[in-house]
Amino acid sequence: MGNDGGSIPTRRELVREAARTPSTAQVKEAQREQQEHSWTTCPLSHKQLQRPVVSDSVGNLYNKDAVLTFLLSGDDAEGISSKADCEEILCGRVKGLRDVVELKFEVDSERTESPPVSKHEKREAWICPVTAKQLGPNVKAVYLVPCGHVFSEEAIRQLKGDKCLQCDDPYTPDNVISILPTKETDKQQLIERGQKLAEQGLTHSLKKAPGSKKRKKNANGDGAGSKEPSAAPSRSNTSTPTPSASNGIKNAATASLTARILEEENEKKKRRKMMGTNDNISSLFSKEPKDGAKNADFMTRGFTLPATARK
């Protein structure tokens, strides 16, 4: 159609809302929403964060049971995202429980989240034991390694101590970890700390990394170290108990949680094994072709005439 007296619209009239650079207020609002989601939701299981909660070397928060499920499950497991998605989220930072620190929050029993997460479940209010401020997206929080006690960044900065205010364990300024940092300087500082620890053969929790050389503590120098090879055969000759789910785990809560997850994985394997040995299911699939047929199983073979009908 044309020459009907109509007007030709311009680009300005067609594009009413052109793409604009987000304002500072919009950027801050997006960051606040992301912080609120990260403070309340585990990125591995997409469930509400509930104690016990752990953190990796860059300050991200996870449910401890979700991390254990990821570490103990060989294939994709129920209750968490796929193995590939979890590895993409963790970026290789978590290869064992030594790479995370369990956080110890101070809980205010009288203060709950408003509005509650659901009608039947309310989120715990985590507060700083010094300032009594509720920790979350509006308050910058930190925790200490290796004890894991959580404080507001303001309390640690003003008191300027070298011992934890809760358990009196010593710490260094490098081991004050920001929780869910937003500033690039804080993120880069945590990344550099992780690299330094890796060079020293240590993990995020300041424990020895698996595979690193263990040095025997001795006061006599090389003399005591020469006795170590002779002690190895005596340890190998002694009878050792059968390893269990909680073997080597000193924390009772972690041991019970690990045992529960291993039990669930064993039940899943048993169900899969029973499905594989079921005669009704196995009859549908045959491993070897019969009578020279290319596809002799029920699911894939085509229609063939019997030998008597061909004559």
Question: Does residue 105 belong to any structural domain of this protein?
Answer: yes
Question: What is the predicted pLDDT for the residue at 109?
Answer: 81
SS3 of residue 294 by DSSP: coil
Question: Does residue 248 belong to any structural domain of this protein?
Answer: no
SS3 of residue 112 by DSSP: strand
For the stretch 199-254, pLDDT in tens is 999 999 999 998 766 554 444 444 444 444 444 444 444 444 444 444 456 666 66
Nearest alpha-carbon partner for 75 in 87, 65, 89, 90: 87
Residue 127 belongs to what domain range? 27-199
Name, in order, each residue with C-beta under 8 angstroms of 45's C-beta and a sequence gap of 6 or more: 63, 65, 66, 69, 79, 80, 81
Residue 242 is which amino acid?
T
Higher pLDDT, 68 or 160: 68
Question: Does residue 50 belong to any structural domain of this protein?
Answer: yes
Question: What is the predicted pLDDT for the residue at 159?
Answer: 86
Indicate which CATH number applies to the domain containing 133: 3.30.40.10
How many percent of the chain have pLDDT more than 90?
Answer: 44
Question: Does residue 6 belong to any structural domain of this protein?
Answer: no
| Alpha-carbon gap, residue 265 to 170, rounded angstroms | 39
Residue 41 is which amino acid?
T
Both tokens of 280, joined, read: 């009704």
Question: What DSSP element (H or E) covers 63?
Answer: strand 61-63
For the stretch 5-38, pLDDT in tens is 677 777 777 776 556 777 888 888 888 899 999 9
Q: Structural domain tally of the chain?
A: 1
Question: What is the predicted pLDDT for the residue at 235?
Answer: 42
Question: Does residue 184 belong to any structural domain of this protein?
Answer: yes
Question: What is the predicted pLDDT for the residue at 207?
Answer: 93
Question: What is the predicted pLDDT for the residue at 220?
Answer: 45
Question: Does residue 189 belong to any structural domain of this protein?
Answer: yes
- Pair 53, 64: CB distance under 8 Å: yes
Question: Does residue 19 belong to any structural domain of this protein?
Answer: no
**Residue-averaged pLDDT of the chain:** 77
Quick one: average pLDDT of 109-130? 69
Quick one: average pLDDT of 153-173? 91
